[in-house]
Amino acid sequence: MNFMMFFEQVGRFFFEKKQVWIFFSLLIAPFFLVLAVLAPRFFTLRETERSFDSAALRGRAALEKRIEKEMFLCRFSKFEPYFIDQYLEALPLLQDNLQELYAMKNHPASKNRDALAKRIEFLEGPDNRLSFAEENIRSSKRIKETEERLLHPVEIDMNDLNRLLSLIEDVAIGGYTPKETSPQLIIQDFVLTKKNGAAYELNLSLLKREFLHTAEK
Amino acid sequence: MQATGVQIDGRSLRGALVRRAGQKLQLIDLKTHEIEESCKSDLHASNTAKNKFFNLFIRGASSTLVSGLQSNDLLIRSRTFTPAKSRKLRQALILQVEAQLHLKAEELITVSLFEAQEKRATTYSTTQPALNAHLEAFHKIHLDPERVSAVPAALKAFVKWKEPDFASYFLLDIGLTSANCIWVENGLLQKAHALSFGLQHLKGFWENKNDSIDFSAIKNSQSAFAEEARTFRREIAKMLHSFQQQRPLIFTGETNDSAFREFLLEGLRECITEEKQLSCTAEERLYAVCIGLAIDYLINIKQPIQFRHGSSLSSQNWQKLGRSGCFLISAAAMLCALIYGTGSWWIDKREKDIIHNLEAWTAEKDPTLRLELFSAGKDTPTLVNQWLRLIEKNAKDYRFLMKAPKVAQFLDWIAHHPLVDSFSQTPDPIFFEQIRYQLVSLPHLDAMDNPYLVKIDLDFKVGSPLHARKFHEMLLQGQGLVDASREISWDVLPDRYRATFYLKNE
C-alpha cells in the first residue's frame, strides 16, 4: 500500500502541474552523464590510437636516425687534439713533381739548375706546406668549434688532393683511407685553381668540431 | 482485459464486470451494493463498504473502474468528416466545439470519439465543476474511477452489443434518481437529455411504502402519486419531442415492470414509432449503464472517452504513471550503467592493446627505449605521447651531421658526369679552370638552426658554344647535385665561362 502511495506521489510529482520536464530531465540525465564521462575517454583513446599509429610509422626512421647520430658521436668523440698539425700540416705535397725536379737537376745535361733548385726549395720549404691559422673559436660544454684557415695557398697535384680530401672529409678515395682519430672537419671554403701542368693551387678554410665526451643534445 | 462499469443511483452502487478476450465480450458479474448513509461520512465505514463492494467482484489487477457522466452534464455534438482521423483534426475539432459553447475555456473539458470507418466524430463536452461533483460522489464512498466516460455513450454501446443491427432509435434509461434519454441515428449519437429525478422520486408519493409500485392502478387515479407519475411521463415526452423525430424506443434501467412501460408508452405514442425489445435479461437491462460503460471502454480501448485529464486523473492512474515513470527512469539508469560498463570495458581493452603493442614494438626494435618508457607507471595516453615525443626528437636530423654534399662528392660527380665524359670523347673537351666550393651557411654554436648550403663557382673553358650551352642546360635541369630551385647564374667571360649554382642537400 505504501508503495502505491509512493508511486502516486511520484506520478503526481512528475506529471502534474507542468513538471514533466523534471521527469524527462531525470530520464535523459544518466545518458548525458555517461556521455560526459565516456566521450572524453573515447576521444582521448582515439587520439592515443592515432598517435600510436603515427609513432609506429615514424618509429623506424627515427630509430635509424638515432643510431646514425650515436655512431656519428661515437666516431668523432675519439679524436686526436693535434690532428691538423700531425696529419695535414705535415703532409708533403707534389712529391711526384719533386722527384722529377730532382732527376732533372741531377741530369748532366740540365741547363736550368738554378731555376730547378729554386723550385725544389719552394716545394720543400714552408711556402708550399699546409699551414692553418685558428680563428673564431666557439665552445660549449661538450663541443668546441674552430675555424681553420690556410695562411697561404699551396700547390698540389691530384694525388695530394685525394689524400687531403680523404683525411679532411673522412672518406676513402682511391687508395687513401681516412684516419679514425680525426675530429669532424668540414670544408667551408675550397678554391682549386688550375696551374701549369698537373699542378693546382689550393686555398682552403675548414671548420673543426671537437666533441668532448658525450654529444650535445 | 477487464473493466468494471460503476454507477451510483440513489443509495445503490451498481457494478458490472466485463471481460474482453480478443473481440469477444463476456459479462462476468453484476452486483448492487446499498450505500448506507453512515458510509458517506465515516471513513472506516466507507472503507468497509468499498471493500465489500470490491469483494463482490473477482476483480483482477487489470480491471479498470469506469464511471459515466449523466446526459445533463454533457453536451454532445456529432460531425461527419471527409478526411481520415488525425491528432491535429481531433485538436481542431475540440477547439472548434469549445469556441462554440460560450463557456469558460478553462472549465471546459471536451473529448472526441472518431468512428473511422464512417468518418464521423462525436464530441462530448462537460465542465470541470460537473466532473468534480461526479468524482466527489464516488470519493464519498472512497471509490476513485480510473476512467470517467459518458452515460449516453455507454447506453449506445450496450445496445450495439446486444443488437448490432439497431442503427436508429431512442433509448430511455430510468434509474432511481435520474432518467437518461438518447437519440441514436445511423449508429451516431445525436442528442441526449436527462431528468434529475427518477423512480425514487415517485416512490416518495406512493401511499404504501412497503409495497412495490403498481402502475396499472394509475390510469384513472387522481392521487398525488398518479399526478407525479404523469408529470414524470410528460417530462420524458418533452425530452423525446425535443428530438423532433420519431424512432423506435428502447427501455433500459428500472423498466422491467411491463405496467410501468405501458404507462410510459401511453404518453409517448406521438414521439415514437414503436417499442423495441432488446434480447437481454431483466438484470442486464437494469445494469445497462454499468455494462455499457465497461463495454464502451473495452471496445474503444485505444481512444476511450476519458474526462479525467491532468490533475483530475485517478489515484490508480497516478500510480500507473508513477510506476511507469519509476520504471522508465530505472530502465534508463540501468541502460546507462550498461553503456558505461561496456564502454569502459571496451576503452580499457583498447588501451591495454595499445600498451601491449607498444611493449612488443619497443622490445623488438628498441629495448633501451622500452626501459625508459615503462620505468614508471604511466597511463596509456601519457605513455604513447612520451613515445611520440621521443620519436619526434630522434626523427630530427642531428644538426652536426653534415647534410650537404662534400667536396670529394661534388668533384667526383662533376668529373664523371656523362655530359663531361661525352665532351671528352670529342676534340673539344671541357677544361675546369677554377672550382670554388663554399659552405655559405651551416649550423654552428652561435646559430644552431642554420641550414647547410653549398655554393659552387665553376670557371671552365670549352671551345664550342654548343657544348657550353648544353652544360648550362644540364645545370638548369637540376640534374644530380644541382639545386635548380635556387639561383643559377651564367657568365660569359672573355676567355672562359663561369657558372654559379647551389647544391642540393641529402
Contacts of B385 in chain A (CB under 8 A): 48, 51
Rounded to an integer, the average pLDDT of B273-288 is 89
Write the single-letter amino acid at B365: K
Distance from CA of B411 to the nearest CA of A (A): 10
Residue of A nearest to B333 (CA): A30
User: Of the candidates B318, B394, B411, which has its C-beta nearest A66's C-beta?
Assistant: B394
pLDDT level of residue A167 (50, 70, 90 thresholds):
very high
Residue of A nearest to B388 (CA): A55
d(CA B248, CA A34): 67
Say yes or no to pLDDT of B254 above 90: no
* Of the listed ranges A20-29, B77-86, B441-450, the one predicted with least confidence: B77-86
Would A83 be classed as within a structural domain? yes
d(CA B190, CA B76): 7
As given in the structure block, the three cell numbers for residue A174 are 682511391
Would A113 be classed as within a structural domain? no
**What is the SS3 string spanning B119-179?**
CEEEEEEEEHHHHHHHHHHHHHCCCCCCEEEEHHHHHHHHHHHHCCCCCCEEEEEECCCCE
Alpha carbons within 13 A on the beta-carbon side of A87:
21
Residue B439 vs residue B258, higher pLDDT: B439
Task: Return the closest-CA partner of residue B462 out of B424, B436, B500.
Answer: B424
Residue of B nearest to A67 (CA): B394
Whether residue A53 sits in one domain with residue A84? no
pLDDT of residue B82: 61
Asked if B407 and A165 come within 8 Å (Cβ–Cβ), the reply is yes
ipTM over 0.90: no
d(CA B217, CA B211): 13
Asked if B435 and A191 come within 8 Å (Cβ–Cβ), the reply is yes
| Probe site for chain A from B47, B146, B317, B318 (most A CB atoms < 10 A) | B318
Q: Within 10 A of B227 (CB to CB), how many other CB atoms are there?
A: 13
| Probe site for chain A from B356, B386, B398, B436 (most A CB atoms < 10 A) | B398
d(CA B418, CA B57): 114
Whether residue A82 sits in one domain with residue A52? no
As given in the structure block, the three cell numbers for residue B227 are 399526478
pLDDT of residue A191: 96
Whether residue A148 sits in one domain with residue A198? yes
Would A65 be classed as within a structural domain? no
As given in the structure block, the three cell numbers for residue B439 are 659552405
Whether residue A174 sits in one domain with residue A86? yes
pLDDT of residue B52: 58
Give the model confidence (pLDDT) of A127-163 as tens digits.
888 999 998 899 888 889 999 999 999 999 999 999 9
Whether residue A84 sits in one domain with residue A178? yes
Query: Of B18-22, B55-59, B267-271, where does the model show the most confidence?
Result: B18-22
Whether residue A198 sits in one domain with residue A152? yes
Which backbone phi and psi does B145 adopt, to 5 degrees?
A: -60, 135
Strands B453-461 and B431-441: antiparallel
User: Of the candidates A7, A56, A190, which has its C-beta nearest B322's C-beta?
Assistant: A7
Check residue A126 and report its DSSP letter. Answer: G
Instruction: Say whether A209 sits in a helix, a strand or coil.
Output: strand
As given in the structure block, the three cell numbers for residue A41 are 575517454
* Of the listed ranges A62-76, A94-108, A160-174, B97-111, the one predicted with least confidence: B97-111
- Helix ranges (H only) for chain A are 2-15, 20-76, 83, 95-106, 113-124, 158-169
CA B289 to chain centre: 35
Domain range for A200: 77-93+129-211
Averaged pLDDT of chain B: 84
| Probe site for chain A from B444, B455, B460, B506 (most A CB atoms < 10 A) | B444
Write the single-letter amino acid at B243: F
Say yes or no to pLDDT of B268 above 60: yes
Whether residue A189 sits in one domain with residue A86? yes
Distance from CA of B51 to the nearest CA of A (A): 14
Strands B64-69 and B75-80: unpaired
**What is the SS3 string spanning A37-60?**
HHHHHHHHHHHHHHHHHHHHHHHH
Rounded to an integer, the average pLDDT of B492-505 is 92
User: Of the candidates A34, A42, A51, which has its C-beta nearest B388's C-beta?
Assistant: A51
Asked if A11 and B325 come within 8 Å (Cβ–Cβ), the reply is yes
Residues 6+ apart with CB under 8 A from B32: B12, B13, B14, B15
Contact of B328 with A27, CB cutoff 8 Å: yes
User: Of the candidates A60, A139, A169, which has its C-beta nearest B406's C-beta?
Assistant: A169
Distance from CA of A110 to the nearest CA of B (A): 31
Strands B120-127 and B147-150: unpaired
Residue of B nearest to A24 (CA): B329
Residues 6+ apart with CB under 8 A from B250: B159, B166, B169, B170, B171, B172, B275, B276, B277, B278
Residue B234 vs residue B208, higher pLDDT: B234
Rounded to an integer, the average pLDDT of B150-163 is 92
Long-range contact pairs involving B366-371 (C-beta distance under 8 Å, separation at least 24): B366/A59, B366/A63
Write the single-letter amino acid at B257: D
Across B112-136, b (16+ Cβ under 10 Å) vs e yields: bbbeeeeebbbbbbbbbebbeebbe
Instruction: Say whether B245 sits in a helix, a strand or coil.
Output: coil
Whether residue A146 sits in one domain with residue A81? yes
Distance from CA of A47 to the nearest CA of B (A): 8
Residues 6+ apart with CB under 8 A from B465: none
Distance from CA of B374 to the nearest CA of A (A): 15
> Would you tell me which CATH number, out of the four given (3.50.50.60, 3.40.50.150, 3.30.420.40, 1.10.3720.10), belongs to the domain B164-277?
3.30.420.40
Residue of B nearest to A206 (CA): B439
Say yes or no to pLDDT of B190 above 90: no
Would A107 be classed as within a structural domain? no
* Of the listed ranges A13-22, B77-86, B383-392, the one predicted with least confidence: B77-86
Whether residue A81 sits in one domain with residue A31? no
Would A124 be classed as within a structural domain? no
Distance from CA of B359 to the nearest CA of A (A): 12
Asked if A186 and B439 come within 8 Å (Cβ–Cβ), the reply is yes
Contact of B480 with B416, CB cutoff 8 Å: no
- CATH number of the domain encompassing residue A192: 3.30.70
CA B96 to chain centre: 27
Strands A143-150 and B497-503: unpaired
Asked if A42 and B432 come within 8 Å (Cβ–Cβ), the reply is no
Start-to-end CA distance of chain B, whole Å, equals: 88
Rounded to an integer, the average pLDDT of B148-160 is 92
| Probe site for chain B from A76, A171, A186 (most B CB atoms < 10 A) | A186
In chain B, where the domains are located: 164-277, 326-378, 407-503
Asked if B365 and A194 come within 8 Å (Cβ–Cβ), the reply is no
* Of the listed ranges B113-117, B145-149, B402-406, B467-471, the one predicted with least confidence: B113-117
d(CA B233, CA B225): 12
CB-defined contacts A:B, below 8 A: 192
Asked if A72 and B340 come within 8 Å (Cβ–Cβ), the reply is no
Asked if A190 and B437 come within 8 Å (Cβ–Cβ), the reply is yes
User: Of the candidates B310, B396, B438, which has its C-beta nearest A189's C-beta?
Assistant: B438
Asked if B361 and A189 come within 8 Å (Cβ–Cβ), the reply is no
Residue of B nearest to A36 (CA): B340
Residues 6+ apart with CB under 8 A from B203: B209, B213
Beta-bridged to residue B501, according to DSSP, are: B456
Which backbone phi and psi does B347 adopt, to 5 degrees?
A: -65, -45
Would A16 be classed as within a structural domain? yes
Asked if B385 and A6 come within 8 Å (Cβ–Cβ), the reply is no
Would A46 be classed as within a structural domain? yes
Residue of A nearest to B431 (CA): A194
User: Of the candidates A7, A56, A143, which has its C-beta nearest B319's C-beta?
Assistant: A7
Q: What is the DSSP string of B179-224?
A: EEEEEEETTEEEEEEEES--HHHHHTT-S-TTSPP-GGG-TT--SH
Across B453-466, b (16+ Cβ under 10 Å) vs e yields: bbbbbbbbbbeeee
Whether residue A145 sits in one domain with residue A88? yes
Whether residue A193 sits in one domain with residue A158? yes
Asked if B347 and A42 come within 8 Å (Cβ–Cβ), the reply is yes
Count of the separate structural domains present in chain A: 2
Which backbone phi and psi does A184 adopt, to 5 degrees?
A: -75, 120
pLDDT of residue B333: 92
Contact of B147 with B65, CB cutoff 8 Å: yes
Contacts of B311 in chain A (CB under 8 A): 16-17
User: Of the candidates B336, B358, B411, which has its C-beta nearest A30's C-beta?
Assistant: B336
pLDDT of residue B397: 77
Whether residue A51 sits in one domain with residue A16? yes
Say yes or no to pLDDT of A217 above 50: no
Distance from CA of A84 to the nearest CA of B (A): 18
pLDDT level of residue B117 (50, 70, 90 thresholds):
low
Distance from CA of B308 to the nearest CA of A (A): 13
Would A118 be classed as within a structural domain? no
Asked if A11 and B406 come within 8 Å (Cβ–Cβ), the reply is no
